[in-house]
């Protein structure tokens, strides 16, 4: 009410509707509590979450405090203090903090506050920011006409398996023209080509729709592929390089990430019903004679 009253008085004075003399004074708070940071978001890592936020447009900010909770509403505890940069021009400054104490498969909520030089702290940031870390890494998958024992990949185990193994979530082959393909390992696994991405973090959420009706996608360097496994886990793979062996091209190196939290809405489809596929959805293998 005080701020609304002061604002009304200032408007009336500006319109000349209220007279004043030298003894009239309007008292404003000389040191208000800082505004809350805005633009807070996170990026998922392996046993880590990276938190970003916009610095507030005030000159007397001393530091920012990062809070974390296992609940969206309550239980926020301080986990870090980040010094504020000098900002006399009130420029936009983006801050970040790496939470290296986060565990894969656990969902965390984050918030940030601003503290001024007088020690006054803002309210928690308003954005609903949560993240679930997951393991990631790199792996080379071989063509099934070259090294069939390493032509498949099990995302949960982070390991190569034979292309014919029931443990293969995906496997790799090429047609007679040498075009490489990434294939689903069974009828209950779905795959989608998300197109070219500048980096691995370009895809942070799984799509709900658009899954391949063929059960395979062409491998293109720089493309990221989303996999929805038969046991309801999300994964993504990004093609990094084509590799040559003694007889020529023999494998592709991928970045991969696998969400260990089954059914998690982050990096997983937000629908429960998987698409239905016919018997010809899974490609027979091996498609070419074994060398």
pLDDT in tens, 83-111: 999 999 999 999 999 999 999 999 999 99
Quick check: is 277 in a domain? no
Q: Is the pLDDT of residue 200 over 70?
A: yes
Quick check: is 246 in a domain? yes
The last residue of a domain, from among 87, 114, 131: 131
Say if residue 166 is in the same domain as residue 124.
no
- Identify whether the C-beta of residue 172 lies closer than 8 Å to the C-beta of residue 155: no
pLDDT in tens, 17-58: 344 444 455 555 678 999 999 999 999 999 999 999 999 999
Among 3-17, 29-43, 144-158, which stretch is predicted with the lowest mean pLDDT? Answer: 3-17
Q: Is the pLDDT of residue 267 over 80?
A: no
What is residue 163's three-state secondary structure? coil
Higher pLDDT, 158 or 289: 158
Higher pLDDT, 13 or 154: 154
- Identify whether the C-beta of residue 162 lies closer than 8 Å to the C-beta of residue 144: no
Chain center to CA of 158: 20
Cα separation of 134 and 118, whole Å? 40
Quick check: is 268 in a domain? no
pLDDT in tens, 238-262: 999 999 987 778 999 999 999 998 8
Say if residue 100 is in the same domain as residue 151.
no
Say if residue 126 is in the same domain as residue 146.
no
Q: Is the pLDDT of residue 163 over 50?
A: yes
Strongest mean pLDDT among 204-218, 230-244, 245-259: 230-244
Quick check: is 284 in a domain? no
Quick check: is 55 in a domain? yes
CA atoms within 13 A on the CB side of 190: 22
Say if residue 117 is in the same domain as residue 198.
no
pLDDT in tens, 57-74: 999 999 999 999 999 999
> If you average pLDDT over residues 212-234, what whole number do you get?
95
Quick check: is 20 in a domain? no
Q: Is the pLDDT of residue 7 over 70?
A: no
> If you average pLDDT over residues 192-220, what whole number do you get?
92
Q: Is the pLDDT of residue 3 over 90?
A: no
pTM, 2 dp: 0.75
Say if residue 93 is in the same domain as residue 157.
no
Cα separation of 193 and 225, whole Å? 5
Element (H, E) at 184: strand 180-184
Pairing mode of beta strands 223-228, 216-218 = unpaired
The last residue of a domain, from among 97, 131, 165: 131
Quick check: is 63 in a domain? yes
Tell me the pLDDT band of 278, cut-offs 50, 70 and 90: confident
> Exposure of 57 by Cβ count < 10 A (0-12 exposed, 13-18 middle, 19+ buried)?
middle
Element (H, E) at 242: strand 234-245
**Strand extents, DSSP E, 30-116:** 38-44, 49-54, 61-69, 77-83, 94-99, 108-116
Residue 144's domain comprises 136-258
The number of distinct structural domains making up the chain is 2
Say if residue 144 is in the same domain as residue 111.
no
């Amino acid at each position: 009410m005080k701020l609304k009253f002061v604002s009304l008085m200032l408007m009336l004075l500006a319109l000349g509707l209220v007279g004043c003399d030298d003894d009239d004074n309007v008292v404003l708070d000389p040191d208000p509590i800082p505004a809350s940071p805005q633009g807070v978001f996170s990026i998922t890592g392996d046993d880590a979450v990276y938190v970003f936020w916009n610095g507030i447009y005030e000159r007397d900010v001393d530091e920012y405090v990062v809070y974390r909770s296992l609940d969206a509403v309550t239980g926020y505890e301080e986990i870090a203090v980040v010094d504020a940069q000098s900002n006399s021009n009130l420029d936009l400054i983006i801050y970040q903090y790496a939470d290296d104490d986060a565990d894969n498969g656990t969902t965390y909520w984050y918030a940030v506050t601003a503290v001024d030089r007088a020690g006054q702290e803002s309210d928690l940031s308003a954005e609903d920011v949560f993240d679930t870390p997951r393991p990631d890494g790199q792996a080379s998958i071989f063509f099934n006409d070259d090294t069939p024992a390493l032509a498949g990949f099990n995302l949960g185990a982070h390991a190569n398996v034979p292309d014919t193994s029931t443990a293969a979530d995906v496997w790799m082959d090429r047609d007679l023209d040498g075009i490489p393909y990434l294939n689903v390992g069974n009828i209950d696994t779905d795959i989608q080509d998300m197109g070219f991405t500048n980096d691995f973090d370009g895809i942070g959420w799984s799509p709900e729709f658009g899954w391949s009706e063929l059960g395979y996608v062409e491998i293109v360097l720089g493309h990221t592929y989303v996999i929805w496994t038969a046991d309801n886990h999300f994964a993504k793979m990004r093609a990094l390089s084509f590799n040559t062996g003694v007889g020529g091209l023999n494998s592709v190196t991928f970045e991969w990430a696998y969400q260990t939290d089954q059914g998690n809405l982050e990096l997983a489809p937000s629908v429960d019903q998987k698409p239905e596929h016919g018997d010809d959805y899974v490609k027979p293998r091996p498609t070419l004679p074994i060398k």
